[in-house]
Structure 1
Amino acid sequence: MRPVRAPDFLQSTQASYDAIAEAYTAEHPDSLAGRPLELALLTAFVELSRAAGTAGTAGRPPVADIGSGPGYVTARLHGAGLPVFGVDASPRMVALARQAHPELRFHVGSMTALDLPEETLGGIVALYSIIHVPDDHLPSVFAGFRRVLLPGAPVLLGFQSGDEDGHQHLTERYGQEISLDYYWRTPDTVAAHLEEAGLEVYARVLREPQGEEKVPRAFLLALRPSAPLTGGGRPGPCP
């Protein structure tokens, strides 16, 4: 069997973050510090994940921090008591995260092809990682999220937003030559993709730009629906 070639956008994203990994990590050792709104949303995610993990599972299911970068979100989820691992497309980012948090697991991988069995995760966090995914790939990404989530498990997304959807291509950052695409989207656009994938939007938050930020930040909490009850009182198949 021939190996599946990664999409072009994923290859360029990986190469770009490999090139800027050290500088990016130095600038963003913990971008959640001093962000009370983001921390509150992460707390809500933790509680929703704990609730999903009590539904007849053996042990608490793990959660995945997808696009984990330097690993500070993964570390906060671990500190909140959740079993967690990080996934990033950049091998260099993964190496730096392992150095900073040697007690945690980080893997090279992509949200476009999650190598996980069905219904195994108690939640997914993807903060500022779908911003590099083109529009035509979002449906399959969110369908993959739904596939690996347990019924009732949450997804927390964070992304740059604005009055309308947009796109920017960067060829340089931190003095390094890169080829990196950024997509900003309205909460309605992302919510529609989530709902098409069978995930229910639980909450939407839009935060105004802070500090050096130039555009608003949007956050969506969504859930994989719990299994409906059949006439006999047992969970039926998920739609």
Structure 2
Amino acid sequence: MDSRRDEVRAAYDAIAEDYAATFPSTEPEAPVDLAMLDHFVGRVVAAGGSRVLDAGCGSGRIARYLTDRGLSVLGVDLSPGMLAMARRDHPDLELREGSITALPVDDASVDGVAFWYSLIHLTDDELPVALAEAVRVLRPGGHVVLAFQKGDGIHDVGAGLRERGHDVSLVRWHRGTKQVLDALAEAGFVKEARLVREPVGRERHAQAFVLARLP
């Protein structure tokens, strides 16, 4: 796991500036994607919460979106390079370096966790570890939202990055919604919402979104 984690960290360090310049905000998201994030915000607030974790926050664009909607957001990311972009572009955000499989966050300290395309670099064996970490840091009744590419198998995203001039290696795991929902249920979550949409624009894969909560 450590060598692959180092590979992921190195890849995102290398592309951080390009990524932040290309996607300063929610440019990759379709309106319906953001509707799922808005639903997550609404459910956290309706449950009396406000403190959420953006697990795998990257350059801070989703943490910014959630903050602008009234939540108190802590962003955690593995890549120092991406965190540097987040600190540069969003100096008001609270940010920490760390892994989503070993979150630098206290037990039962947040009301929501967002895994917005951050579980995609985990193997199937590592996915339950990250979900167990979400359970650990969430308060009872807390919510989690996930975004990921729908499908199956391992996909090489390094090729596209190398075309942009970045000499990196990076792969991601595509999963079906049933696999993700089963993993959430095994971790102790209850499904609240599921959304799958077809590719739009330059996308090549369907996109999936899941919202769940702890009892």
The secondary structure found in structure 2 opposite 1:31 is: coil
Consecutive unaligned residues in structure 1, runs of 5 or more: 1-5, 55-59, 226-239
2:145 to 149, 152, 156: 156
Match of 1:113 in 2: 102
Match of 1:166 in 2: 153
Match of 1:22 in 2: 17
Relative distance call for 1:34 and 1:192 in structure 2 (3 A) is: closer
Q: Distance in 2 between matches of 1:66 and 1:15?
A: 18
Match of 1:79 in 2: 68
5 Å matches for 1:4-43?
A: 7-32=2-27, 35-43=30-38
Q: Distance in 1 between matches of 2:63 and 2:27?
A: 11
Most deviating of 119-128 and 166-175? 166-175
How many residue pairs end up in the alignment? 212
Q: Distance in 2 between matches of 1:202 and 1:93?
A: 31
Give percent identity, aligned residues only. 41
Is the contact between residue 52 and residue 74 of structure 2 (CA under 8 Å) also seen in structure 1? yes
Match of 2:51 in 1: 62
1:213 paired with 2:203, answer yes
Match of 2:175 in 1: 185
Report the TM-score when normalising by structure 1. 0.84
Q: Distance in 2 between matches of 1:105 and 1:213?
A: 31
Instruction: Compute the displacement of 1:42 (Å).
Output: 1.1
Is the contact between residue 9 and residue 133 of structure 1 (CA under 8 Å) also seen in structure 2? no
Q: Distance in 2 between matches of 1:140 and 1:166?
A: 19
Once the two structures are superposed, residues 154-178 of structure 1 have per-residue CA deviations (whole angstroms, 9 ceiling, x without a partner) of 111000013xx21023444121111
Is the contact between residue 96 and residue 104 of structure 2 (CA under 8 Å) also seen in structure 1? no
The secondary structure found in structure 2 opposite 1:222 is: strand
Two-structure CA RMSD over aligned residues (Å): 1.5
Relative distance call for 1:170 and 1:23 in structure 2 (3 A) is: same
Instruction: Compute the displacement of 1:34 (Å).
Output: 6.5
Q: Distance in 2 between matches of 1:221 and 1:32?
A: 21
Q: Distance in 2 between matches of 1:34 and 1:217?
A: 10
Match of 2:82 in 1: 93
Report the TM-score when normalising by structure 2. 0.93
Q: What letter matches 1:145 in structure 2?
A: A
Q: What letter matches 2:186 in structure 1?
A: E
Once the two structures are superposed, residues 31-53 of structure 1 have per-residue CA deviations (whole angstroms, 9 ceiling, x without a partner) of 3576211221111111111133x
Relative distance call for 1:161 and 1:86 in structure 2 (3 A) is: same
Is the contact between residue 166 and residue 183 of structure 1 (CA under 8 Å) also seen in structure 2? yes
